[in-house]
Structure 1
Amino acid sequence: METNLLAVDYPVLNIFWTMLELFLWILWFFLLFKIITDIFRSHDLSGWGKAGWLVLVIILPLIGILAYLIARGQSMGKRDLEQAQQTEAAVKAYIREAAGPTAADGGSGSHVDDLARLADLREKGAISDEEYQKAKDKLLV
Protein backbone atom coordinates (compact mmCIF):
# COMPACT_ATOMS: atom_id res chain seq x y z
CA MET A 1 0.00 0.00 0.00
CA GLU A 2 1.66 3.11 -1.24
CA THR A 3 0.70 6.48 0.20
CA ASN A 4 1.67 9.93 -0.81
CA LEU A 5 3.59 11.31 2.14
CA LEU A 6 3.26 14.83 0.89
CA ALA A 7 -0.54 14.62 0.87
CA VAL A 8 -0.68 13.00 4.29
CA ASP A 9 1.84 15.19 6.04
CA TYR A 10 1.04 18.50 4.33
CA PRO A 11 -2.62 18.77 3.29
CA VAL A 12 -2.42 22.57 3.34
CA LEU A 13 0.40 22.41 0.81
CA ASN A 14 -1.86 20.49 -1.59
CA ILE A 15 -4.54 23.17 -1.23
CA PHE A 16 -1.91 25.82 -1.90
CA TRP A 17 -0.70 24.07 -5.09
CA THR A 18 -4.26 23.56 -6.31
CA MET A 19 -5.04 27.24 -5.76
CA LEU A 20 -1.81 28.25 -7.49
CA GLU A 21 -2.64 26.08 -10.51
CA LEU A 22 -6.15 27.53 -10.67
CA PHE A 23 -4.77 31.06 -10.45
CA LEU A 24 -2.27 30.36 -13.24
CA TRP A 25 -5.02 28.93 -15.48
CA ILE A 26 -7.17 32.01 -14.93
CA LEU A 27 -4.17 34.26 -15.58
CA TRP A 28 -3.37 32.29 -18.74
CA PHE A 29 -6.89 32.66 -20.16
CA PHE A 30 -7.00 36.35 -19.24
CA LEU A 31 -3.73 36.94 -21.06
CA LEU A 32 -4.88 34.89 -24.04
CA PHE A 33 -8.13 36.86 -24.42
CA LYS A 34 -6.33 40.18 -23.88
CA ILE A 35 -3.86 39.39 -26.64
CA ILE A 36 -6.57 38.16 -29.03
CA THR A 37 -8.58 41.37 -28.52
CA ASP A 38 -5.40 43.42 -28.98
CA ILE A 39 -4.67 41.63 -32.25
CA PHE A 40 -8.10 42.59 -33.63
CA ARG A 41 -7.91 46.14 -32.21
CA SER A 42 -4.51 46.87 -33.76
CA HIS A 43 -4.79 49.18 -36.77
CA ASP A 44 -1.14 48.90 -37.79
CA LEU A 45 -1.40 45.17 -38.62
CA SER A 46 -2.67 43.99 -41.97
CA GLY A 47 -5.25 41.26 -42.24
CA TRP A 48 -2.54 38.66 -42.93
CA GLY A 49 -0.54 39.90 -39.96
CA LYS A 50 -3.55 39.55 -37.70
CA ALA A 51 -4.24 36.07 -39.06
CA GLY A 52 -0.60 35.05 -38.56
CA TRP A 53 -0.48 36.25 -34.95
CA LEU A 54 -3.85 34.65 -34.23
CA VAL A 55 -2.75 31.28 -35.64
CA LEU A 56 0.52 31.47 -33.70
CA VAL A 57 -1.26 32.34 -30.43
CA ILE A 58 -3.87 29.58 -30.85
CA ILE A 59 -1.72 26.78 -32.31
CA LEU A 60 1.40 27.38 -30.18
CA PRO A 61 0.00 29.26 -27.20
CA LEU A 62 3.08 29.48 -24.97
CA ILE A 63 5.47 30.51 -27.72
CA GLY A 64 2.88 32.68 -29.46
CA ILE A 65 1.92 34.67 -26.37
CA LEU A 66 5.53 35.17 -25.29
CA ALA A 67 6.51 36.23 -28.82
CA TYR A 68 3.56 38.64 -29.03
CA LEU A 69 4.39 40.21 -25.66
CA ILE A 70 8.04 40.62 -26.64
CA ALA A 71 7.34 41.95 -30.15
CA ARG A 72 4.25 44.06 -29.54
CA GLY A 73 3.88 44.42 -25.76
CA GLN A 74 4.85 48.08 -25.63
CA SER A 75 2.45 49.10 -28.40
CA MET A 76 -0.22 47.00 -26.68
CA GLY A 77 -0.01 49.33 -23.68
CA LYS A 78 -0.26 52.38 -25.94
CA ARG A 79 -3.40 51.00 -27.59
CA ASP A 80 -4.93 50.36 -24.16
CA LEU A 81 -4.19 53.96 -23.16
CA GLU A 82 -5.68 55.34 -26.40
CA GLN A 83 -8.84 53.31 -25.95
CA ALA A 84 -9.19 54.47 -22.34
CA GLN A 85 -8.79 58.11 -23.45
CA GLN A 86 -11.39 57.68 -26.19
CA THR A 87 -13.81 56.09 -23.74
CA GLU A 88 -13.27 58.89 -21.23
CA ALA A 89 -13.81 61.54 -23.90
CA ALA A 90 -17.03 59.83 -25.01
CA VAL A 91 -18.32 59.68 -21.43
CA LYS A 92 -17.51 63.37 -20.86
CA ALA A 93 -19.24 64.32 -24.12
CA TYR A 94 -22.31 62.32 -23.11
CA ILE A 95 -22.41 63.98 -19.69
CA ARG A 96 -22.13 67.44 -21.26
CA GLU A 97 -24.92 66.58 -23.71
CA ALA A 98 -27.15 65.16 -20.98
CA ALA A 99 -26.56 68.15 -18.69
CA GLY A 100 -27.83 70.56 -21.32
CA PRO A 101 -26.40 73.83 -22.57
CA THR A 102 -24.34 75.94 -20.18
CA ALA A 103 -23.74 79.68 -20.16
CA ALA A 104 -20.39 79.13 -21.90
CA ASP A 105 -22.17 77.35 -24.76
CA GLY A 106 -24.50 80.28 -25.32
CA GLY A 107 -27.35 78.83 -23.31
CA SER A 108 -28.80 80.25 -20.14
CA GLY A 109 -26.97 77.74 -17.94
CA SER A 110 -28.30 74.70 -16.22
CA HIS A 111 -29.89 74.47 -12.80
CA VAL A 112 -26.82 72.63 -11.58
CA ASP A 113 -24.58 75.57 -12.52
CA ASP A 114 -26.94 78.03 -10.89
CA LEU A 115 -27.11 75.99 -7.69
CA ALA A 116 -23.32 75.70 -7.64
CA ARG A 117 -22.98 79.48 -7.96
CA LEU A 118 -25.50 79.98 -5.17
CA ALA A 119 -23.60 77.60 -2.93
CA ASP A 120 -20.37 79.47 -3.66
CA LEU A 121 -22.00 82.77 -2.77
CA ARG A 122 -23.29 81.32 0.50
CA GLU A 123 -19.87 79.89 1.39
CA LYS A 124 -18.20 83.25 0.70
CA GLY A 125 -20.73 84.98 2.91
CA ALA A 126 -22.15 87.11 0.10
CA ILE A 127 -25.68 85.86 0.85
CA SER A 128 -27.28 84.54 4.01
CA ASP A 129 -28.77 81.08 4.48
CA GLU A 130 -32.28 82.53 4.18
CA GLU A 131 -31.45 84.23 0.88
CA TYR A 132 -29.86 81.00 -0.31
CA GLN A 133 -32.99 78.99 0.50
CA LYS A 134 -35.26 81.51 -1.22
CA ALA A 135 -33.11 81.58 -4.36
CA LYS A 136 -32.85 77.80 -4.39
CA ASP A 137 -36.64 77.45 -4.07
CA LYS A 138 -37.09 79.80 -7.04
CA LEU A 139 -34.64 77.79 -9.15
CA LEU A 140 -36.25 74.46 -8.38
CA VAL A 141 -39.77 75.59 -9.22
Structure 2
Amino acid sequence: MSGVQLKAVQDLQAQLTKVMEELDHKVFRPQQKAAFQCSIKCTDLRGPQEEMHACLAKCGEPIQRHEAAVMGELQEFQHRVQRCVQQCQDKQATTQDQGKFDKCVSECAVFYQKELASLKPQLMKKR
Protein backbone atom coordinates (compact mmCIF):
# COMPACT_ATOMS: atom_id res chain seq x y z
CA MET A 1 0.00 0.00 0.00
CA SER A 2 1.15 3.51 -0.65
CA GLY A 3 1.80 6.00 2.13
CA VAL A 4 -1.50 7.86 1.75
CA GLN A 5 -3.58 4.69 1.77
CA LEU A 6 -1.58 3.20 4.63
CA LYS A 7 -2.19 6.38 6.64
CA ALA A 8 -5.97 5.94 6.36
CA VAL A 9 -5.69 2.38 7.68
CA GLN A 10 -3.36 3.49 10.48
CA ASP A 11 -5.77 6.31 11.36
CA LEU A 12 -8.64 3.81 11.62
CA GLN A 13 -6.56 1.55 13.85
CA ALA A 14 -5.53 4.50 16.04
CA GLN A 15 -9.13 5.66 16.31
CA LEU A 16 -10.28 2.18 17.31
CA THR A 17 -7.53 1.96 19.94
CA LYS A 18 -8.52 5.37 21.31
CA VAL A 19 -12.18 4.31 21.58
CA MET A 20 -11.18 1.13 23.42
CA GLU A 21 -9.01 3.09 25.88
CA GLU A 22 -11.79 5.60 26.48
CA LEU A 23 -14.29 2.78 27.04
CA ASP A 24 -11.95 1.21 29.56
CA HIS A 25 -11.39 4.41 31.54
CA LYS A 26 -14.82 6.02 31.35
CA VAL A 27 -17.14 3.03 31.33
CA PHE A 28 -15.62 -0.31 32.28
CA ARG A 29 -13.46 0.79 35.20
CA PRO A 30 -16.29 2.64 36.96
CA GLN A 31 -18.49 -0.41 36.41
CA GLN A 32 -15.77 -2.66 37.80
CA LYS A 33 -15.45 -0.40 40.83
CA ALA A 34 -19.19 -0.60 41.43
CA ALA A 35 -19.08 -4.40 41.08
CA PHE A 36 -16.24 -4.63 43.61
CA GLN A 37 -18.07 -2.35 46.06
CA CYS A 38 -21.17 -4.48 45.66
CA SER A 39 -19.08 -7.62 46.23
CA ILE A 40 -17.71 -6.22 49.48
CA LYS A 41 -21.27 -5.87 50.75
CA CYS A 42 -21.92 -9.51 49.82
CA THR A 43 -19.17 -10.67 52.15
CA ASP A 44 -21.02 -9.01 55.04
CA LEU A 45 -24.09 -11.20 54.54
CA ARG A 46 -24.80 -13.47 57.49
CA GLY A 47 -26.76 -16.08 55.54
CA PRO A 48 -25.56 -19.32 53.98
CA GLN A 49 -22.54 -19.43 51.68
CA GLU A 50 -24.82 -19.94 48.67
CA GLU A 51 -26.50 -16.61 49.42
CA MET A 52 -23.15 -14.84 49.33
CA HIS A 53 -22.21 -16.56 46.04
CA ALA A 54 -25.53 -15.54 44.49
CA CYS A 55 -24.95 -11.97 45.65
CA LEU A 56 -21.44 -11.95 44.14
CA ALA A 57 -22.73 -13.28 40.84
CA LYS A 58 -25.44 -10.63 40.75
CA CYS A 59 -22.85 -7.89 41.37
CA GLY A 60 -20.87 -8.93 38.30
CA GLU A 61 -23.81 -9.35 35.93
CA PRO A 62 -24.16 -5.73 34.73
CA ILE A 63 -20.55 -5.34 33.65
CA GLN A 64 -20.50 -8.79 32.06
CA ARG A 65 -23.61 -7.95 30.01
CA HIS A 66 -22.22 -4.58 28.98
CA GLU A 67 -18.80 -5.92 28.04
CA ALA A 68 -20.41 -8.71 26.01
CA ALA A 69 -22.64 -6.24 24.17
CA VAL A 70 -19.76 -3.85 23.43
CA MET A 71 -17.45 -6.64 22.30
CA GLY A 72 -20.21 -8.02 20.08
CA GLU A 73 -20.71 -4.62 18.46
CA LEU A 74 -16.96 -4.16 17.97
CA GLN A 75 -16.61 -7.63 16.46
CA GLU A 76 -19.42 -6.87 14.03
CA PHE A 77 -17.70 -3.58 13.16
CA GLN A 78 -14.42 -5.41 12.52
CA HIS A 79 -16.22 -7.98 10.35
CA ARG A 80 -17.68 -5.17 8.24
CA VAL A 81 -14.20 -3.67 7.80
CA GLN A 82 -12.82 -7.10 6.85
CA ARG A 83 -15.62 -7.63 4.32
CA CYS A 84 -14.84 -4.28 2.73
CA VAL A 85 -11.15 -5.17 2.42
CA GLN A 86 -12.12 -8.60 1.07
CA GLN A 87 -14.18 -6.91 -1.63
CA CYS A 88 -11.10 -4.84 -2.51
CA GLN A 89 -9.06 -8.03 -2.74
CA ASP A 90 -11.71 -9.61 -4.97
CA LYS A 91 -11.66 -6.58 -7.28
CA GLN A 92 -7.85 -6.55 -7.30
CA ALA A 93 -7.73 -10.24 -8.26
CA THR A 94 -9.50 -9.45 -11.52
CA THR A 95 -7.53 -6.31 -12.38
CA GLN A 96 -4.10 -6.93 -10.82
CA ASP A 97 -3.89 -3.16 -10.25
CA GLN A 98 -2.22 -2.47 -6.91
CA GLY A 99 -3.10 1.22 -7.12
CA LYS A 100 -6.81 0.47 -7.33
CA PHE A 101 -6.51 -1.96 -4.44
CA ASP A 102 -4.73 0.62 -2.28
CA LYS A 103 -7.36 3.23 -3.13
CA CYS A 104 -10.19 0.81 -2.35
CA VAL A 105 -8.68 -0.13 1.04
CA SER A 106 -8.16 3.54 1.83
CA GLU A 107 -11.79 4.26 1.02
CA CYS A 108 -12.82 1.42 3.34
CA ALA A 109 -10.71 2.88 6.13
CA VAL A 110 -12.07 6.40 5.67
CA PHE A 111 -15.66 5.15 5.54
CA TYR A 112 -15.24 3.08 8.70
CA GLN A 113 -13.53 5.92 10.55
CA LYS A 114 -16.81 7.81 10.13
CA GLU A 115 -18.80 4.71 11.12
CA LEU A 116 -16.70 4.31 14.28
CA ALA A 117 -17.28 7.95 15.18
CA SER A 118 -21.04 7.39 14.99
CA LEU A 119 -20.79 4.04 16.82
CA LYS A 120 -18.75 5.48 19.69
CA PRO A 121 -21.63 7.17 21.58
CA GLN A 122 -23.58 3.93 21.49
CA LEU A 123 -20.59 2.02 22.87
CA MET A 124 -20.02 4.59 25.61
CA LYS A 125 -23.53 4.25 27.04
CA LYS A 126 -23.63 2.61 30.41
CA ARG A 127 -26.06 -0.27 30.25
TM-score, normalised relative to structure 1: 0.33
The higher-RCO structure (CA 8 Å, 6+ apart) is 2
Greater Cα radius of gyration, structure 1 or 2 = 1
Which is helix-richer, 1 or 2?
A: 2
